[in-house]
Amino acid sequence: MITFVIGGNKSGKSDYAMGLLTAAPGPALFLATGKAKDLSFRDQIAAHRERRDPALPVVEVGWDLPRALLEAKKDYRTVLVDSLDFWLYVCSQESLDHEIVETFLEALRHCRDCNIILVSCEIGFAPLPASCEARAFLKKLGRLNQAVAALADEAWLVVAGLSVALKKAEHGRIEAD
């Protein structure tokens, strides 16, 4: 089952997704896409780490999220990916964004036998950025978010720490044995 959690920056989406991970059957894995490039982001990552269970395995992935997902599903019943927006940014920096997005979506189609929780930023509510590079990224992220939402069994919008169901699963979650 694929669950998509989307929200604005600092909306509470990562905490909501972590709650879903905690409630899901194990073993569980956290795939982190964020890499600190500045002190502020380093602090944000550290704060996320402090809130996580230290026993939860964490793998930091770069652009090759599709391979990491397919590998993870071999050993884990539930996988949380936080977050797709930063992953897409990394892919854009490597000029891989178009081909790798299609590979990622195909990998998701092959992960229906486990619980996948995906987190992404909804930046479409913000004003239109002034730079053409920022607008191009916004368009790419919007297309990725739409494609993931279409594949997802469930989709949740998180605003001010509150979750709103956008799409509910018809078949339910994969249960523990």
Tens of pLDDT, residues 80-131: 999 999 999 999 988 887 889 999 999 999 998 999 999 999 988 878 888 9
Contact 23, 53 (CB under 8 A): no
41: pLDDT confidence band, cut at 50, 70 and 90? low
Phi and psi of 13, rounded to 5°?
-65, -40
Angle, helices 97-109 vs 84-93, to 10°: value is 140
Query: Long-range CB contacts (< 8 A, 24+ apart) of 35-43?
Result: 35/60, 35/62, 35/86, 35/90
Residues in the chain: 177
Residue 147 CB partners (closer than 8 Å, separation 6+): 101, 105
> pLDDT exceeding 90 applies to what percent of the chain?
69
**How do the domains of the chain map onto residue ranges?**
2-167
Query: Does 3.30.70.360 match the CATH number of domain 2-167?
Result: no
Q: Taken in order 51, 41, 166, 99, is the CA torsion positive or negative? A: negative
Residue 177 confidence (pLDDT) above 50 = no
Three-state secondary structure call for residue 173:
coil
As a whole number, mean pLDDT of residues 46-70 equals 83
Rounded to two decimals, the pTM is 0.89
Per-residue HEC secondary structure of 127-165 comes to CCCCCHHHHHHHHHHHHHHHHHHHHCCEEEEEECCEEEE
